[in-house]
């Protein structure tokens, strides 16, 4: 009888396992149940420790949902497609090993009071975008979570922060994310439950704090919001902090320990032309004087001028980030008091000149970043007194001369790429100790600049001269044998022009320490000058791609060469003896002639242990015709016939006729298409519809109320109504597919305009911005554009579509910092000038609205608050 019971148990476990496998994908201890249309938690094998249940239709989790799953360590229940998710009392009882729980991205998360009972070891709780209000902090929901370390409440409906007193017992709680809630103010009594704690991260960005302003707030009565609290990183970005509000807020928080303060993307500063606004002065940051602040990030604001002694209170500051402001002026003594500062980032501003006094009072600064300003003038003796400066980044400016720099005695990295420098005269005087010199994408024409640097900078190890179109060489110095150069970049120049003139053939003779060289894109032709690389005895890597090399003698390269890039050349029959020492080679995109000339190469290709950067199978024959496109791996060198002159003559005739025919057909076809492309597109669409012969595919009904929020200037309404709404909106015509939202019809009357915009963006599948000249003048339109970009970054989905209307040049779009980052990285649509392109445009726009796409996370997308016009 006992054996029978054991047999039944074994059979039951087997059946359970088979049933679970049909619902979820089991991989070791991981159960993947995402997107399986589940309405309840499935039964899982007892050995599973991690389960992902996102993108399902689970509407309730109760005490039986995870029964028998005591080994679970991670549960992801986020992004359920139901209207609500109800978590019953004791739903996770017994899961004492659980350390991660995701209940975020749910329209309405409903928690019963004892929902989290039993989660004694939970460390990370994610409740983002779950429609929760302040009761999640004020009630007893989180009381059982004594081991909690990270709490994510991003994007909820919390109106105030008044945590219950039991939070004081959560000794391990170090990170709280309250970003994008609707908190109006924080006063001293509000955070009583957090007092006595040290937070590694307190994320309070995009909550705005509307009731805390310079007009109606009783700051003394409010007190210090962070009393008896210390923070490693305090994030207050996107909260509309003006200069006045910043001064009052940190005066109230005076004495609070803050190591890293993030105030980016606020409204601090007067920008350009707003004389009624203020730039920060020495009183603005006085309240931070006793906070032991180490890092201050006030990037992406609107600061125009750095005033005298503006940071004098920050005596312990080590890094200040001022990138992406509108800084055009730095007053004398602006950095007074910054005796501990080591890093200063002023990139992407509007600086035009550097004066000797600009960087006074920075005795310990190590790194200064001035990249991508408009600096064209370096006044004589600028950068004087910077005895500890090791890195100076001036990339992307308009510098033309270098002899006006003061001596920088400890400079190691000098970055001068993307300027207008024509000569290195003066560089050895101020950069004598540099190990890295970057001069790519300038206007250097003479290779003598390389000779001068190597002759006068004894410690230089890396020289970057790419994209200068260097084409002549009249050296005034010789390269000393005792040099330290290890990396040399000469890509995208014209070394062929220099060597064809038989000058500077000794350029590499004394570079015995060089490890890596790039000569990519120099129009090099065979034969290379004999012995040109003989001095590179330590060379390990060489890039000769994108040249015109046709053959390489066996003694061309140094014997120690290990990596060689010969892609995109004209090597039809390379000699393997030329690169026998190489262990990594790239021979892709060469026109191989699969005839007798490959007798030696093909056996080497099939037997060598050399690693190919692209697969061997990708190397293909270009000639003869019968072998065109055949992989070299499939070719044989056993049968080799001598060339037949008659066959070659016939081939030339056929090639001439074919080329002429293709040219004529291409020209005629291009002209016909240019005049009939609209008709061609309509015929294509009708043919496609007839082939498919299916009912119209309406957009899927998902969690979005609208397919798209149409954002445009009210001045353009008549045009948008005629050109877009009547052709796309389903309420204008039953033949239209899309549910569109726009201000005049769908915004809630009397509601805050920003809230209307935010609701429209987040309740729509995509946001379509109709960018006209009026749009660029409209502050509300730019605000909507900024919010749509915020959503794109938060969700990592392609939710923003930009349509440019009118003849707005691309460079004019680039003037708007908010739009610049988008047009640099993303595709946008242009309203067609020719009416025959309209159907293609509407089809393309509809596809972009309905298409579900994701975007890679990018640090260079720039977001900022735009002042309302």
- pLDDT score recorded for residue 200: 98
Q: Over pLDDT 90: what percentage of the chain? A: 65
The whole-number average pLDDT for the span 207-226 is: 87
Whether pLDDT at 17 is above 80? no
- pLDDT score recorded for residue 685: 63
Which residue is associated with the tokens 């899982």? 44
Q: What pTM value is reported for the model?
A: 0.70
- pLDDT score recorded for residue 844: 86
Least confident of 289-293, 339-343, 452-456, 777-781: 777-781
Question: Looking at per-residue confidence, does 526 or 674 come out higher?
Answer: 526
- pLDDT score recorded for residue 676: 55
Whether pLDDT at 505 is above 60? yes
Q: Over pLDDT 70: what percentage of the chain? A: 91
The whole-number average pLDDT for the span 495-500 is: 96
Chain segment 566-609, per-residue pLDDT in tens: 999 999 999 999 998 999 999 999 999 988 888 889 999 989 99
**Terminal Cα distance for the chain, rounded:** 85
Give the mean pLDDT of the chain: 89
Q: Which residues contact 652 (CB under 8 A, 6 or more apart)?
A: none
Least confident of 4-18, 46-60, 440-454, 542-556: 4-18
Whether pLDDT at 58 is above 70? yes
Least confident of 47-56, 181-190, 389-398, 807-816: 807-816
Question: Looking at per-residue confidence, does 488 or 806 come out higher?
Answer: 488
Q: Are 263 and 297 in contact (CB under 8 A)?
A: yes
Chain segment 376-401, per-residue pLDDT in tens: 999 999 999 999 999 999 999 999 99
Q: Alpha carbon of 267 to those of 523, 791, 865, 866, 867: distances in Å?
A: 51, 20, 7, 8, 8
* Alpha helices per DSSP H over 409-545: 427-430, 448-456, 495-500
Question: Looking at per-residue confidence, does 811 or 712 come out higher?
Answer: 712
Q: Are 233 and 260 in contact (CB under 8 A)?
A: yes
* Phi-psi group of 364: left, alpha or beta (phi > 0 → left; psi -120 to 50 → alpha; rest → beta): alpha
Least confident of 11-25, 26-40, 207-221, 725-739: 11-25
Q: Which domains does the chain have, with CATH numbers?
A: 706-850 (3.40.50.10140)
- pLDDT score recorded for residue 867: 45
Helix axes 779-795, 753-762, angle to 10 degrees: 40
The whole-number average pLDDT for the span 307-325 is: 97
- Give bridge partners of residue 584 from the DSSP assignment: 563, 611
Judged on CB neighbours under 10 Å (0-12, 13-18, 19+), 857 is: exposed
The whole-angstrom separation of Cα 533 and Cα 65 is 71
The whole-angstrom separation of Cα 460 and Cα 475 is 19
Which residue is associated with the tokens 């950095």? 335
User: What DSSP state is assigned to residue 724?
Assistant: I
Whether pLDDT at 134 is above 90? yes
Question: Looking at per-residue confidence, does 97 or 738 come out higher?
Answer: 97
Whether pLDDT at 229 is above 90? yes
The whole-angstrom separation of Cα 357 and Cα 379 is 10
Whether pLDDT at 14 is above 50? no
CA nearest 347: which of 412, 392, 291?
392
Q: Are 190 and 167 in contact (CB under 8 A)?
A: no
- pLDDT score recorded for residue 737: 82
DSSP string, 16-32: HHHHHHHHSEEETTEEE
The whole-angstrom separation of Cα 287 and Cα 293 is 11
- pLDDT score recorded for residue 798: 84
């Amino acid at each position: 009888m006992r054996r029978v019971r054991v047999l039944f148990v074994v059979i039951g476990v087997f059946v359970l396992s088979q049933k679970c496998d049909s619902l979820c994908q089991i991989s070791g201890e991981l159960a993947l149940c995402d997107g399986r249309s589940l309405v309840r938690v499935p039964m899982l094998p007892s050995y599973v420790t991690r389960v992902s249940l996102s993108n399902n239709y689970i509407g309730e989790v109760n005490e039986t949902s995870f029964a028998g799953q005591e080994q679970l360590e991670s549960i992801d229940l986020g992004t359920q497609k139901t209207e609500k998710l109800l978590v019953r009392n004791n739903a996770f009882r017994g899961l004492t090993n659980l350390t991660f729980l995701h209940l975020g991205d749910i329209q309405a998360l409903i928690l019963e009071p004892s929902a989290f009972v039993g989660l004694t070891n939970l460390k990370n709780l994610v409740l983002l975008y779950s429609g929760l209000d302040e009761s999640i902090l004020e009630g007893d929901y989180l009381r059982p979570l004594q081991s909690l370390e990270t709490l994510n409440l991003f994007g909820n409906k919390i109106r105030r922060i008044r945590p219950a007193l039991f939070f004081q017992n959560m000794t391990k709680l170090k990170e709280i994310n309250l970003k994008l809630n609707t908190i109006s103010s924080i006063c001293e009594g509000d955070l009583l439950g957090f007092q006595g704690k040290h937070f590694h991260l307190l994320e309070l960005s995009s909550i705005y704090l509307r009731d805390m302003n310079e007009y109606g707030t009783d700051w003394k009565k409010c007190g210090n919001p962070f009393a008896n609290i210390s923070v490693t990183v305090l994030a207050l970005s996107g909260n509309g902090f003006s200069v006045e509000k910043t001064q009052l807020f940190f005066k109230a928080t005076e004495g609070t320990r803050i190591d890293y303060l993030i105030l980016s993307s606020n409204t601090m500063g007067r920008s350009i032309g707003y004389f009624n606004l203020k730039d920060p002065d020495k009183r603005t940051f006085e309240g931070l004087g006793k906070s032991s602040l180490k890092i201050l990030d006030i990037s992406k604001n609107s600061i125009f001028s750095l005033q005298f002694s503006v940071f004098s209170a920050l005596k312990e500051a080590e890094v200040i980030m001022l990138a992406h402001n509108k800084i055009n002026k730095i007053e004398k003594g602006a950095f007074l008091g910054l005796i501990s500062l080591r890093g200063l980032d002023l990139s992407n501003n509007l600086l035009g000149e550097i004066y000797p006094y600009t960087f006074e009072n920075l005795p310990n600064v190590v790194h200064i970043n001035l990249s991508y300003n408009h600096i064209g003038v370096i006044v004589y003796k600028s950068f004087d007194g910077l005895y500890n400066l090791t890195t100076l980044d001036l990339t992307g400016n308009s510098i033309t001369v270098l002899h006006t720099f003061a001596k920088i005695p400890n400079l190691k990295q000098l970055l001068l790429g993307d300027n207008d420098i024509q000569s290195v005269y003066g560089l050895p005087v101020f950069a004598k100790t540099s190990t890295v010199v970057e001069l790519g994408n300038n206007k250097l024409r003479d290779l003598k600049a390389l000779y001068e640097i190597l002759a006068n900078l004894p410690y230089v190890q890396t020289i970057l001269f790419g994209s200068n179109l260097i084409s002549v060489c009249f050296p005034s110095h010789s390269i000393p044998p005792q040099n330290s150069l290890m990396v040399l970049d000469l890509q995208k120049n014209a070394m062929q022009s220099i060597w064809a003139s038989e000058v500077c053939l000794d350029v590499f003779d004394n570079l015995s320490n060089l490890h890596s060289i790039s000569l990519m894109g120099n129009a090099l032709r065979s034969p290379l000058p004999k012995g040109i690389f003989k001095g590179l005895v330590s060379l390990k890597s060489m890039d000769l791609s994108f040249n015109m090399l046709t053959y390489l003698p066996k003694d061309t390269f140094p014997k120690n060469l290990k990596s060689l890039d010969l892609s995109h050349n004209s090597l039809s029959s390379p000699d393997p003896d030329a690169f026998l020492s190489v262990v990594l080679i790239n021979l892709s995109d060469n026109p191989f002639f699969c005839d007798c000339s490959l007798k030696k190469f093909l056996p080497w290709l099939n037997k060598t242990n050399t690693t190919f950067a692209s697969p061997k199978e990708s190397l293909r024959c270009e000639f003869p015709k019968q072998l065109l496109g055949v992989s070299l791996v499939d070719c044989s060198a056993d049968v080799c016939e001598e060339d037949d002159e008659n066959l070659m003559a016939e081939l030339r005739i056929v090639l001439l006729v074919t080329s002429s025919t293709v040219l004529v057909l291409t020209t005629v076809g291009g002209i016909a298409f240019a005049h009939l492309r609209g008709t061609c597109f309509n015929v294509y669409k009708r043919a496609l519809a007839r082939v498919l012969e299916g009912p119209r595919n309406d957009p899927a009904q998902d969690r979005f109320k609208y397919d798209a929020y149409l954002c445009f200037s009210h001045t353009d309404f008549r045009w948008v109504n005629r050109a877009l709404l009547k052709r796309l909106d389903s309420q204008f015509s039953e033949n239209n597919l899309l549910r569109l939202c726009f201000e005049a019809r769908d915004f809630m009357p009397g509601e805050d305009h920003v809230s209307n915009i935010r609701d429209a963006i987040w309740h729509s599948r995509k946001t379509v911005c109709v960018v006209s000249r009026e749009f660029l003048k409209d502050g509300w339109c730019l605000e909507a554009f900024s919010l749509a970009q915020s959503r794109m970054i938060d969700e990592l989905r392609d939710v923003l579509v930009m349509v440019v209307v009118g003849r707005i040049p691309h460079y004019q779009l680039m003037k708007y910092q908010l739009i610049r980052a988008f047009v640099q990285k993303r595709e946008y649509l242009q309203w067609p000038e020719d009416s025959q392109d309209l159907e293609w445009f509407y089809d393309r726009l509809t596809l972009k609205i309905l298409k579900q796409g994701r975007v890679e996370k990018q640090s260079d997308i720039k977001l900022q608050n735009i002042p309302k016009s």
